[in-house]
Amino acid sequence: MEETPGAPAQGSDGKPIPQLLTEAVRYAEERHWEVVPGSWLIDDDGPLRCSCGDPSCPLPGAHPTTEDWRRRASAGPGVVRRWWTENPQASILLPTGRSFDVLDVPEVAGCLALARMERMGLQLGPVVAAPTPPGQAGPHGQTGRRLLFLVLPGVLAKLPDMLRGLGWGPGRLDLVARGEGDWIVAPPSRVGPYSFAQWALAPSELNRWLPDTAELIHPLAYACGREAPASRVARPSQPAVVR
């Protein structure tokens, strides 16, 4: 995994600029991604807890804080800077279905697919490694980290037919589309008490142009099918050809 940026930059007053502020502004300024501040973890004399106040919060420190979060999201660097200046602990949330959609897979399958894609010379967009909070399992009971592949918008409408075309019925693979109305937690936000979101493949000039889902679906479906528990997932009747 690629490291999230380390030492914080310093402001004109010589004080370090909070890393979440720096990264949130960078996403808006350099990538033109809409961002919105999320909840955060409160770490004081008591137990670590989510700012929402729910002791059983399923996404501690990493979820929207208002019902109108989609309307509030902004790619304006000045607005973003003000938000994180006011609350430098807020997690960074990136709405999906706007600048990008996401293909969300378990980490092991995602790493296998990522290596295969790089060997194939496929154009890749940024990839987030996101922790799964304790007690929150994936669609097939999996826990642990997930890899989130950023792709062009439109995944929700395309994915079911694409998977059927590869021989996989609905719900057979732990491969989830995230589009309009959803969000992802961006690095270096903290998710739960133990882990942070980080970049498996960081944004750069080389991956500014995002791939279409059709370019990545073969290696992702192949990797998810290979890593899925045999007791839970039936193999496709006609295995996909992966070149």
Sheet holding 92-95, edge to edge: 36-37, 92-95, 183-186
Q: What is the pLDDT of residues 14-38, one digit of tens each?
A: 566 799 999 999 999 999 999 999 9
C-alpha–C-alpha distance, residues 63 and 90, integer Å:
10
pTM of the entire structure?
A: 0.85
142 — pLDDT class (breaks 50, 70, 90):
very low
Dist. CA 240–CA 193, nearest whole Å: 40
pLDDT at 144 over 80: no
More confident residue, 19 or 5: 19
Closest CA to 190 of 142, 130, 100: 130
Q: What was the pLDDT predicted at 44? A: 79
Instruction: List, for residues 36-46, the tens digit of each pLDDT value.
Output: 999 999 987 77
Helices of type H across the chain: 19-30, 69-72, 77-86, 107-120, 155-165, 213-227
pLDDT tens-digit series, residues 48-104: 899 999 988 988 999 999 999 999 999 999 999 999 999 999 999 999 999 999 999
Average pLDDT over residues 152-179: 93
pLDDT tens, position by position, 198-239: 999 999 999 999 999 999 999 999 999 987 765 344 444 443
pLDDT value of residue 4:
47
Residue 234 contacts by C-beta under 8 Å, 6 or more apart in sequence? 169, 172
Q: In what helix (H) or strand (E) does residue 190 lie, and over which residues does it extend?
A: strand 190-191
Element (H, E) at 130: strand 127-130
- Chain CA centroid to CA 242, Å: 25
- Given a contact cutoff of 8 angstroms between Cβ atoms, the answer to whether 37 and 74 are in contact is no
